[in-house]
Amino acid sequence: MNEYTIGYTAAGSLMGLAIMALLYMLGGREGKWKRRFVGAFVQAVNSNVCFAIMQLWNWWLLLTWPIVSIGLHFGYGGSTTGAKLIRRTIYCAANLAVAGLFIWQYGPKMLWVFIPNVGVAAWSIYMGVKNPIYAAAEEVFVCALLYLMTNAYPFVAGLIK
């Protein structure tokens, strides 16, 4: 595969991620379905298309949509720090479950992305609990950074063909 195809695929993945992050934020304001179903679908299509372009797609990858959607159904707000911590951890666990699916399908070299993915998930939990910036911006950045890691997996998988 030539480098232009890989570069265009990565850039397209970022565009899909921006759409997902926007839907994530919009669903935080009203219309939770935007986040839970449409945002999850955009992210699943994003991952599946990248794996397909990298010539690594398989049927198991269709599970990304329900896994992401389940994670987005739990929300992450709460009236106490404990509630926020539990909900954000569940959200991040769903993201890491998608990563687990990729590791299961493509092997241990995927750990090169999984290890920093765990770190970003921990940061996401912190951001969700502390909310140190405006909520609308925090939602966009948390979603984008967490799923940025997810979008990197097809490119690592391509190295192990």
Could you give the CA distance from residue 100 to residue 97 in angstroms, rounded to a whole number?
Answer: 5
Q: Residue 38 in contact with residue 21, Cβ under 8 Å?
A: no
Sign of CA dihedral 25, 91, 72, 62: positive
Strand, coil or helix: what is 8? helix
**pLDDT (tens place) for every residue of the chain, 161 residues total:** 899 999 999 999 999 999 999 999 999 889 999 999 999 999 999 999 999 999 999 999 999 999 999 988 876 677 888 888 888 888 899 999 999 999 999 999 899 899 999 999 998 888 878 878 888 898 898 889 889 989 999 999 877 65
Model confidence, pTM:
0.89
Q: Which residues form the domain of 154?
A: 3-160
Domain count, the chain: 1
Q: Which residues of 106-144 are buried (b: 16+ CB within 10 A; e: fewer)?
A: beeebeebbeebeebbeebbebbbeeeeeeeebbbbbbb
The DSSP element (H or E) to which 161 belongs, if any, is none
DSSP designation for 78 = -
Q: What is the DSSP string of 113-144?
A: HHHHHHHHHHHHHHHHHH--S-HHHHHHHHHH
